[in-house]
Amino acid sequence: KIGGGHLAIMSGPCAVESKEQLLEAAKAVKACGAQFLRGGAFKPRTSPYDFQGLAEEGLKMLREVADEVGLNVVTEIVNINDLDMICKYADMLQIGARNMQNFQLLKEVGHTNKPVLLKRGLSATISEWLNAAEYIASGGNYNIVLCERGIRTYETFTRNTLDLSAVAAVKELSHLPIIVDPSHGTGRWQMVRPMARAAIAAGADGLMIEVHPHPEVALSDGDQSLKPDNFAIVMQEVRQIAQMMGKTL
């Protein structure tokens, strides 16, 4: 369950690199209370020379590790042609920020029976974001979770500007649950902990946090990934704030 007092924690590495890496991360986040293993098998990267993911081999690793540890799989779909393949392995489909207004993709995931995590676009207004969710719902799939992951502003210290006011706005405008991604929202691992606390205090229904056992050698987003011991600290604090907000893991 996501929303309605049930806090969802989705954690794991940005990208699936190896089964050993994934298993180590999965065991760590499961021990801290996460219910979902996040990991990218298809990685839309700004540079075409960056690591693009392991494709179906990565999906197989996600499924095997999640089943072994006892987690659900949430992973990104980039190409509409991969939908059937990803649905075989994933419990939840993620629409990334770059695809928030890929309307044909939204329509197709709207015809599946998989819940959808819809990330806010890089420069999307809240209205545009909610209308993107309507594209999914119009296909008959109402199991939609919104994810605030920061928007592009003039600020350069952080990777994005995490808009926590979007949590309050969505709570007023929509019945859909909303989670927050402080990893992409800041791009700095040192800022993930305070922003995770703030997100839950603002009323978010969950968090998506990147956790990597060895972020210094990560093939993707190492600068914003927490080590397992830091993630454990975050989860201790989040539990306390969630209790105050009437939410449970």
Which of 239, 222, 237 minimizes the C-alpha distance to 13? 222
Count CB-CB contacts under 10 A for residue 72. 16
| pLDDT at 154 (0 to 100) | 97
- Measured over the CA atoms of residue 211, residue 217, residue 223 and residue 227, the dihedral's sign is positive
Q: Which helix (H) or strand (E) holds 103?
A: helix 103-109
| pLDDT at 24 (0 to 100) | 97
Digit-coded pLDDT (tens) for 35-70:
999 999 997 777 888 887 899 999 999 999 999 999
Q: At what angle do helices 56-69 and 19-31 cross, to 10 degrees?
A: 40
**Burial zone of 172 (CB within 10 Å; 0-12 exposed, 13-18 middle, 19+ buried):** exposed
Task: Locate 7 and state its tokens.
Answer: 């806090």
| Domains parsed from the chain with CATH numbers | 8-244 (3.20.20.70)
| pLDDT at 51 (0 to 100) | 82
In angstroms, the CA 94 to CA 78 distance is 9
| pLDDT at 53 (0 to 100) | 86
| Positions in the chain whose pLDDT score sits under 50 | none
| pLDDT at 138 (0 to 100) | 97
In angstroms, the CA 193 to CA 27 distance is 20
